[in-house]
Amino acid sequence: MLSPKTYGATYERLNLGNGSPATESRLLADISTNTQTVSSNVSRLEWLVRQIGGGRDNPSLRNELASVENDTREVATLTVGLIRDLALQLQKGHTSKKARRQQMNRLHNELKMAVSRFREVMQSYRDKYEVNPEPEEQRHHLAMATPTSTQTSFIEGPEDEWNQELRVVETREIAYELSVAEERARRMKEIEQDIRAIQQLFRQLSNLVNEQGEVIDDIGANIEGAATDVEAATRELGKGFHFQRTRRIRLCCLLLIVLVIAIAVILAVVLSVDR
């Protein structure tokens, strides 16, 4: 039988660094642990809900169900925040982190599936609670407390004493029924609120897909942009080197031409003087 406790779940948000590998590893580990906790708790909830209205239904089981449901919702809510934190951490990194992003996406999908099961289990619990607002043993409590026809045949005393006792039982029954109705209305309201909270959590996970997509696109764009910039810079350096080399060659050719012309002029002058 699965444990209803959220053993190993991480309940504190990390003091995030600047995209360090240690922080990313810690976030991935906590997300993985919490996702497993949510999945295990949902399996436990499924078993508990199946017992509603059956022979194992009792106040202790109902209390455990409420406790596990509350813990599961808290851990799932926290884990959504951890996934968002990890996405931001990966965005801060300066190198490609494809493997970590893939691991984050896998954990995100696992958590989303677990929360979807969680929602379905709580909706099933709501439907069963409407039919079975309290455990079987509590439903028989009044029947056991109310005198039967066999019991009344052995009751001794004046008739008014018996009527008084009967009125006490009837008053107790009315008070109990009112109490049950109030408790049922209160609990139904709580269950509906829990279901809405889980639905909101599922929507956050669905929206997180788009947020992660944007973050991952930004990371990929930054990496691709950096690679493109390096490539462009390399091309520009090549062009600059080629241009500088061509310029030097041209300059040397020009100097050589000027030198040849100068020599020719000097020779012409010398020859004309000699004549």
Whether residue 42 contacts residue 114, with contact meaning beta carbons closer than 8 Å, is answered with yes
Instruction: Give the pLDDT confidence score for residue 134 in this predicted structure.
Output: 72
Instruction: Give the pLDDT confidence score for residue 6 in this predicted structure.
Output: 46
The overall pTM is greater than 0.85: no
For residue 171 the two structure tokens come to 């008053």
The three-state secondary structure class of 7 is coil
Grouped pLDDT means (10 residues each) for the chain, 275 residues:
45 57 90 96 96 91 94 94 88 70 91 94 91 64 46 50 73 77 82 89 80 50 48 56 66 73 72 66
Name the residue among 15, 18, 27, 14 with its Cα closest to residue 94: 18
Instruction: Give the pLDDT confidence score for residue 14 in this predicted structure.
Output: 52
- Residue 162 CA: distances (Å) to CA of 98, 114, 150, 168, 176: 82, 58, 14, 10, 21
Instruction: Give the pLDDT confidence score for residue 206 in this predicted structure.
Output: 84
Residue 220 — φ and ψ, nearest 5°? -60, -40
Instruction: Give the pLDDT confidence score for residue 205 in this predicted structure.
Output: 85
Name the residue among 135, 133, 146 with its Cα closest to residue 180: 133
CA 52 to chain centre: 29
Instruction: Give the pLDDT confidence score for residue 27 in this predicted structure.
Output: 92
Range 31-60 burial, b when 16+ CB lie within 10 A, else e: bbbbbbbbbbbbebbbebbebbeeeebeee
Instruction: Give the pLDDT confidence score for residue 220 in this predicted structure.
Output: 47
Instruction: Give the pLDDT confidence score for residue 140 in this predicted structure.
Output: 47
Instruction: Give the pLDDT confidence score for residue 95 in this predicted structure.
Output: 53
Spatial separation of the C-alpha atoms in residues 245 and 234, rounded to whole Å? 16
Instruction: Give the pLDDT confidence score for residue 40 in this predicted structure.
Output: 96
